[in-house]
């Protein structure tokens, strides 16, 4: 047996695997890195941080993400370049945490989604950041490309977070709604095990993506800190109602979407169609309400008005207007904090990648469209 495959085989028999999880979402704010211990008892985040992208990297990512036409040279170069950027970021994290390669067994890398196209026939999705380049640059095995097998068996490749949520956070008696408010909002509905109901995982629509685009265009800011700009604007309630008539919100759960659909160009087109004219602050306020209403609509439909407690992760957690709006929709449903589940909310998505990578090494499969599938591809360091 090749010595590197032997190493992986031996890892699968270790009681605790030490895994680095890497995640970069649609908000393009930086790379989330989590250092996790994975075992039969679950997953423990030992360290985590976010390394912000510099303006050059972020601009390159913005130029290719969710665009129908991009230079192939840019996409090709980014596929390799980002892997080496990630390796440098990992070394920075190791220095901060006083770790070395001997403290890590393998890396899970989600990569950067540059296009996601769900259709009734077959979903196509593309994540860049080459696993082989990252493995050689770090000297550690890398598991990457988790979404492709999901789509190959008829899934939509997103959201994947419910695979971890169900395994770690489903309760026998208490129903839970776990929201992630990143660029796009998604949720995991975890009805109590005793209820006999099925887990549902779905995107709900935009979370921060439209708000952030508006902030960049009109205010030169990357996001609306604390929802401060939204508070200064006036919501156009009729336009929010019109936006909620989009076909996406009429589709059955589960479903996925992305910036390919929900982008500022789409909003401007809808404004023209309905004859709506909004000042920048009013636009931000209206887009923020659109996020609140679309997320709440999904929560109500999926839970079917049954009692639940809810948890929030992602950048939207820090937008006070969004959180106040959601609490107003669900005053009888207690909001809990992810720390109560033993997971820092800012580390959740990177921890998910560590969870999926560990599952691949351990031979764990997930049930997708009536089939047991293994997610991820292995890249050896040499």
Most confidently modeled range among 68-77, 161-170, 220-229: 220-229
Contact criterion met (CB below 8 Å) for 165 and 190: yes
* Percent above pLDDT 70 for the chain: 98
**pLDDT at residue 41 in the model:** 86
248 or 160: which leads in pLDDT: 248
Q: How far apart are alpha carbons 339 and 345 in whole angstroms?
A: 7
- Angle among Cα 116, 118, 120 to the nearest 5 degrees reads 165
State the average pLDDT for the chain.
Answer: 92
113 or 6: which leads in pLDDT: 113
Q: How far apart are alpha carbons 106 and 224 in whole angstroms?
A: 36
3-state helix, strand, coil in the chain (%, to 5): 45, 20, 30
**pLDDT at residue 11 in the model:** 73
Contact criterion met (CB below 8 Å) for 314 and 181: yes
219-237 average pLDDT score:
96
pLDDT category of residue 260 using cuts at 50, 70 and 90 = confident
239-264 average pLDDT score:
92
pLDDT digits (tens, 9 = 90+) for 118-168: 776 778 889 999 999 999 999 999 999 998 998 888 877 777 888 899 989
pLDDT digits (tens, 9 = 90+) for 274-312: 999 999 999 999 999 999 999 999 999 999 989 999 999
**pLDDT at residue 45 in the model:** 96
**pLDDT at residue 353 in the model:** 96
261-276 average pLDDT score:
94
Smallest CA-to-CA distance from 89 within 35, 38, 156 is with 35
75-102 average pLDDT score:
96
Asked whether the bond before 35 is cis by omega within 30 degrees of 0, the reply is no
What are 168's two structure tokens? 């770690």
Instruction: Output the DSSP codes for 153-184.
Output: TT------HHHHHHHHH--SS--EEEEEESSE
333-353 average pLDDT score:
93
pLDDT category of residue 219 using cuts at 50, 70 and 90 = very high
State the pTM of this model: 0.87
Residue-range domains of the chain with CATH: 3-156+345-379 (3.30.420.40), 161-341 (3.30.420.40)
**pLDDT at residue 239 in the model:** 97
User: Which position has the token pair 């598991």?
Assistant: 143
203-230 average pLDDT score:
95
SS3 label, residue 332: coil
pLDDT category of residue 116 using cuts at 50, 70 and 90 = confident
Q: How far apart are alpha carbons 375 and 356 in whole angstroms?
A: 7
Instruction: Output the DSSP codes for 85-115.
Output: HHHHHHHHHHHHHT--GGG-SEEEEEEEEEE
The pLDDT of residue 6 is above 60: yes
**pLDDT at residue 175 in the model:** 97
pLDDT category of residue 1 using cuts at 50, 70 and 90 = low
Give residue 320's Cα distance to chain centre: 20
pLDDT category of residue 3 using cuts at 50, 70 and 90 = low
**pLDDT at residue 2 in the model:** 62
Asked whether the bond before 222 is cis by omega within 30 degrees of 0, the reply is no
């Amino acid at each position: 047996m090749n010595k590197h495959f032997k190493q992986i085989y031996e890892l699968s028999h270790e009681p605790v695997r030490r895994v680095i999880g890497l995640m970069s979402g649609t908000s393009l704010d930086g790379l989330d890195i989590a250092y996790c211990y994975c075992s039969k008892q679950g997953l423990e985040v030992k360290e985590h941080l976010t390394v912000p992208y510099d303006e050059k990297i972020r601009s390159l990512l913005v130029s290719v993400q969710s665009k129908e036409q991009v230079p192939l040279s840019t996409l090709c170069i980014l596929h390799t370049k980002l892997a080496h950027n990630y390796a440098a970021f990992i070394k920075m994290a190791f220095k901060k945490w006083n770790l070395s390669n001997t403290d890590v067994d393998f890396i899970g890398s989600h990569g950067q989604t540059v296009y996601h196209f769900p259709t009734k026939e077959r979903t196509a999705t593309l994540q860049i950041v080459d696993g082989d380049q990252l493995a050689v640059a770090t000297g550690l095995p890398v598991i990457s490309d988790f979404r492709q097998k999901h789509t190959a068996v008829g899934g939509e490749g997103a959201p994947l977070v419910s695979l971890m949520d169900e395994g770690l956070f489903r309760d026998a008696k208490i129903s839970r709604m776990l929201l992630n408010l990143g660029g796009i909002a998604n949720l995991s509905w975890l009805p109590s095990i005793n209820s006999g109901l099925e887990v549902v995982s779905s995107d709900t629509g935009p979370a921060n993506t439209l708000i952030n685009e508006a902030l960049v265009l009109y205010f030169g800011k990357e996001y609306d800190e604390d929802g401060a700009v939204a508070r200064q604007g006036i919501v156009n309630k009729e336009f929010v109602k019109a936006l909620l008539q989009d076909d996406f919100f009429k589709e059955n759960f589960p479903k996925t979407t992305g910036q390919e659909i929900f982008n500022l160009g789409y909003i401007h087109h809808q404004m023209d169609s309905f004859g709506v004219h909004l000042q920048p602050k009013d636009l931000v306020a209206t887009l923020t309400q659109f996020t609140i209403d679309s997320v709440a609509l999904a929560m109500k439909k999926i839970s079917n008005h049954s009692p639940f407690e809810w948890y929030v992760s992602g950048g939207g957690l820090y937008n006070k207007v969004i959180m106040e709006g959601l609490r107003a929709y669900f005053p009888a449903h207690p909001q809990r904090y992810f720390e109560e589940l033993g997971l820092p909310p800012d580390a959740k998505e990177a921890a998910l990648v560590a969870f999926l990578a560990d599952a691949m090494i351990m031979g764990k499969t997930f049930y997708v469209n009536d089939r047991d599938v293994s997610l991820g591809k292995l890249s050896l360091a040499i």
